[in-house]
Amino acid sequence: MPMPRRKYAWEKLSDEQLLKQRLSSLRVALEGTWLEDCLNTLYEELEGRGIRLRPHVWISSEWFSPANVPGIAIPFYLTHPRLMKIEKKMMLDVEGGTWSECMAILRHEAGHALQHAYQFQRRRRWGQLFGPSSKHYPRYYRPNPASRRYVQHLRLWYAQSHPDEDFAETFAVWLRPRSNWRTRYAGWPALKKLEYVDELMDEIAGKRPPIKTRERIDPLRELSQTLGDHYRKKQAFYAFRPPKTYDRDLSRLFSADPRHRREQPASAFIRRHRAQIRQLVARWTGENQLTLDVVLDDMISRCRELNLRAVGPERKLVINFTVLLTAKTMHALFGPSLRKWIAL
């Protein structure tokens, strides 16, 4: 990842000092960063499909494409390695922090920008397939992982959260090079949506969009909150405490037998492997790493209170504990009585 050409005074600040800085004081830009290559790739993909819109972009606090604005806001932390580092520390993840993930999100946001530019939601067929765009945006949504009515692009079955997101996800799958969507979604009801997007893009190919505003909503230079306030709010949004039903499973995996009192504490074992296990479970379940970290804290506390010890081959314990955390996560997300509403 190429380093930005410009140097900033806040680069050398400690985490504590950096969190006191206002977002507006960062003064970062897209120019000279790796994001330029991502955007150029997106524009090339759009051009290759005959789409004339080139969504304008700006830096803000999060990823989004505002209603009736054919543009894309990109989060500030992606513009500089130091900001990606503080994002990783505060959120345990960097959304869009790799080339492939950034491109996946850009294609999704480009779908929103196209909808805003051409007002697709006004078409009767669009509403029949995706639902009413006027539907209230929920704070949380409750997906069905087994549903074949929606494409699968971003994590946590995001297409199921709202009709607009359904369209953006469908467009992203359609746009991605070598996605082979006709074969991948053969027999799925979602294929009708993909075929409609294919027809829609063929219809607008070469046509100028009727909505051409270059408005920028919540640009970074106008955001006066500190990074600390920003992350406190962001962390609270993803906060979730599942039921504490770990004792039986932890006691099966680890040992409370006095004969093993000289073995390493299970709490220390979990702490040592938590980052590796948390990342792996997040990858396969789609759960937010911040939420998983709360669960791990609870498990560590219970292991300490039950005086459990990690007995046996380390590699086998890591595998078994990963399976346990995955099972608990999926049960919390989609269990018949515990299915969780996911933060949008």
pLDDT tens readout for residues 186-242 = 999 999 999 999 999 999 999 999 999 999 999 999 999 999 999 999 988 776 555
Token pair 């790739």: residue? 41
Using the predicted structure, report yes or no on whether residue 332 has a pLDDT greater than 80: no
On the question of pLDDT at 245 being above 80, the answer is: no
Structure confidence at residue 343 (pLDDT)? 52
The yes-or-no verdict on residue 284 having pLDDT over 90 is no
Alpha helix segments (H runs only) across 238-334: 247-253, 266-285, 289-305, 314-334
Q: Residue 112 is which amino acid?
A: H
Q: Is the dihedral of CA 141, 143, 149, 155 positive or negative?
A: positive
66-70, 204-208, 266-270, 289-293: least confident range: 289-293
Q: What angle do CA 91, 162, 102 make, to 5 degrees?
A: 40
Distance (Å, rounded) from C-alpha 300 to C-alpha 270? 7
Entry pTM: 0.80
What pLDDT score does 143 carry?
Answer: 84
pLDDT in tens, 58-76: 999 999 999 999 999 999 9
Q: Which residue has the higher pLDDT, 333 or 300?
A: 300
Which residues share a beta bridge with 309? 255, 265
